[in-house]
Structure 1
Amino acid sequence: MIVKDEERVLGRCLDSVRDLVDEVIIVDTGSSDRTQEIASHYTPHVYHFLWKDDFAAARNFSFEQATKEYIMWLDADDVLYEQDRNKLADLKQSLSWEPDAIICDYQLAFDTAGNATTNSRRYRLIKRSQGYRWHNPVHEYLDVTGGKVLQSDIAVSHHRVGDHSARNMRILQQWIARGGKLEGRMLFFYANELLDQQRYLEAMECYETYFQEPSGYREDRIAACGKLAECYHHLGRKEKKIDSLFKSFHYDVPHADICCTIARSFEDRGEWALAIYWYSRALESREPDGYMGVVNIAYRTWVPHVQLCLCFANLGLLQQAFEHNEHALSYLPGETNLLENKRRLEIALGI
């Protein structure tokens, strides 16, 4: 782990894995709070690393301190809950071959009941002898090209503390000033930071440049289509927004979030039949095998049903509207607006 000023969350993270791992490596990059003291209660392996605005460098240093066969990396605001602790323990006991990397779920957002609503997948455990390295000073990633990979359903839950957009942009701008070239994933990540800072025109130009490159990760390309559409939305260029969404079909089957965004565009025009078509496609979509990108589960569960209720109601098809509202309630029982929809639709249908 690399840490800085994580006294609020470090103990929670380490408590969730301390009995499952054979050593704990903590690399502190300049804490001014009790982070180092807390870390020392869990491990004697607490190291100091002079921060140089480069997450990959810090993570690579942390990997260099490890001595066991496999390395599992975590952030201080990550945690393994009991179900996933049990899965990790079972994996350690039952692993019958030696993969070079193990992919785990990374849960990024949660509903009020604690259920994951947004998920991605990351290379989480790495065979140390392979010498895999981290790349990029920010939005760093592990390159395990050519490695033997095991897919696991173990989930690491991430409860982010704070907004890091300003920090990320500062690191990227410093990297550019030092001669870093904006291309490939770095161009994609830079565009994302521009979008987060609502610099829509600049972000749009970067995404368009990114698409001119001959190759790229499938997940990045699809995400860029959705983000470019968001830029065009804010810039008032509705036709270009739709074009950007359809562009994602060059890279994969239609994804639920893309289908919902297309549907919403038609809904905003009052083109209810077309909106219904695309919300229905969202409900039919499935996450492709091996997909590593961010997936918002709501876009293939309750969101399409809520909007289909509205679309059918606008067409006067109240029975279909009622049925979709019921489906939405199965995901969000007790949701006030949905319960009010149910009451009104029951009155209108004479139920």
Structure 2
Amino acid sequence: MVTVSLCMIVKNEEKILARCLDSIGDLADEIIIVDTGSRDRTKEIAARYTDKIYDFQWIRDFAAARNFAFSKAACDYIYSADADEVLDESNREKFRALKENLVPEVEIVQMYYANQLSFGTVYNFDKELRPKLFKRLRTFCWIEPVHETVRLSPVVFDSDIEITHLPQGSHAGRDLEIFYQIAAEGKALSCRLKNMYAKELMISGTAENFQKAERYFTQIADSEDTEPEQMKEAVCVLVKAARIRGDYLKMYRYAMKDIASEGVSEVCFELGEYYFGQKEYQEAAIWYYNAAYETQSILNIHSGGDFPLMRLADCYEKMGMYEQAKGYRQQAREWSRSVKEM
């Protein structure tokens, strides 16, 4: 049977840390807790489960904190968990069976991260596979019978273990402030992080978050070097940011960049929101219809689903067309159920 180090980075998690450790702690062979500056009883609670508790000065870098935690591990595999995760009894048994049967060739085990859509997270799926268990020491081996080379891609196993995500609230404010600070300091964001920044804004961003991000995404949208996919993401952010501020000229200028090519649901929905705010319900309904039926979402799945469908219902109610409104509300409910079942 393989051994597992449970590695966690925590801060002010006194309300939920015990719940997490009660569900997974006894399945690990060692527990490593890295605290990034708690001011509550987090470390006191952690001490009930392990004496391997380390302090790490927070530098607005989750990767650095996780790397520090991983450096303290000594077992065959490392399980990376957050305090807001829970394994129910069925999945505890699957985890126990995985430990007993895992072959050493496997370097990464993916598990299902579930309950995502309930808390306004940056992800557009209620359940998705994520890498959670990592082989601590990787063995390189040669492959191919001729023109041999070293295998660089990890051996990944997709398990059926399902982790329930139960945060106390959205982490969007914390994450968006980190994104803003990185951009404000002139540091480069990878394509992946640019996508995550735009996605988190469109899913959970406040008016203040959009105001802070607008300059950065304007630079992306106006650059001749921006790839088409990143251009569309930036335009989505700018159209919403400009609408919120009441700068409708800028809203239209960037919306047309998207509509002139292949439109996306987020931009169509924002145009619908503009016309709805102007009480031009027939025009708003056209854009909401385009968001729901004629385009695809790229950042916030709701922009192409229940959001425009509910707004269509609102438009038809305003126009006194109550049967149509009822039908769209029903479609919105059905869409929400279908997404939960994905």
Q: TM-score, normalised by structure 1?
A: 0.63
Is 1:303 the counterpart of 2:310? The answer is no
Question: Using a 3 Å threshold, how does the CA distance of structure 1 residues 52 and 44 change in structure 2: closer, same or farther?
Answer: same
How many Å apart are 1:32 and its aligned residue? 4.2
Is 1:326 the counterpart of 2:330? The answer is yes
Preserved CA contact (<8 Å) 1:183 1:210: no
| Aligned equivalent of 1:182, options 169, 173, 187 | 187
How many Å apart are 1:182 and its aligned residue? 2.3
How many Å apart are 1:230 and its aligned residue? 2.1
Question: Using a 3 Å threshold, how does the CA distance of structure 1 residues 89 and 39 change in structure 2: closer, same or farther?
Answer: same
Aligned residue pairs, count: 302
Preserved CA contact (<8 Å) 1:119 1:294: no
Preserved CA contact (<8 Å) 2:293 2:304: no
How many Å apart are 1:316 and its aligned residue? 5.8
- Percent same amino acid among aligned pairs? 28
Cα shift readout 1:205-232 (whole Å, capped 9, x = no counterpart): 21122343846896x7765443222211
CA distance in 1: counterparts of 2:135 and 2:228, whole angstroms: 23
- Residue 232 of structure 1 is matched in structure 2 by 242
Give the unaligned 5+ runs of structure 1.
Answer: 132-144, 288-292, 334-351
Question: Using a 3 Å threshold, how does the CA distance of structure 1 residues 249 and 35 change in structure 2: closer, same or farther?
Answer: farther
Preserved CA contact (<8 Å) 1:184 1:213: no
Cα shift readout 1:271-292 (whole Å, capped 9, x = no counterpart): 155235324327x85x8xxxxx
- Residue 4 of structure 2 is matched in structure 1 by none
CA distance in 2: counterparts of 1:217 and 1:39, whole angstroms: 47
- Residue 215 of structure 2 is matched in structure 1 by 205
- Residue 143 of structure 2 is matched in structure 1 by none
- Residue 135 of structure 1 is matched in structure 2 by none
Q: How well do the aligned residues superpose, as a CA RMSD in angstroms? A: 4.8
How many Å apart are 1:60 and its aligned residue? 0.9
- Residue 13 of structure 1 is matched in structure 2 by 20
1:71 aligned counterpart, secondary structure = strand
Is 1:274 the counterpart of 2:286? The answer is yes
* Mapping for residues 139-288 of structure 1, pairs under 5 Å: 147=154, 149=156, 154-160=162-168, 165=173, 169=177, 173=181, 181-185=186-190, 196=206, 198=208, 202-211=212-221, 212=223, 214=225, 224-238=234-248, 240-241=250-251, 244=254, 254=264, 257=266, 260-268=269-277, 269-270=280-281, 271-272=283-284, 274-281=286-293
Q: TM-score, normalised by structure 2?
A: 0.64
- Residue 43 of structure 1 is matched in structure 2 by 50
Counterpart residue type for residue 14 of structure 2? E
Preserved CA contact (<8 Å) 1:279 1:307: no
Cα shift readout 1:186-214 (whole Å, capped 9, x = no counterpart): 77888989x75726555222112234384
Give the unaligned 5+ runs of structure 2.
Answer: 1-7, 140-151, 338-342
- Residue 66 of structure 1 is matched in structure 2 by 73
How many Å apart are 1:10 and its aligned residue? 0.9
How many Å apart are 1:24 and its aligned residue? 1.9
Question: Using a 3 Å threshold, how does the CA distance of structure 1 residues 238 and 76 change in structure 2: closer, same or farther?
Answer: same
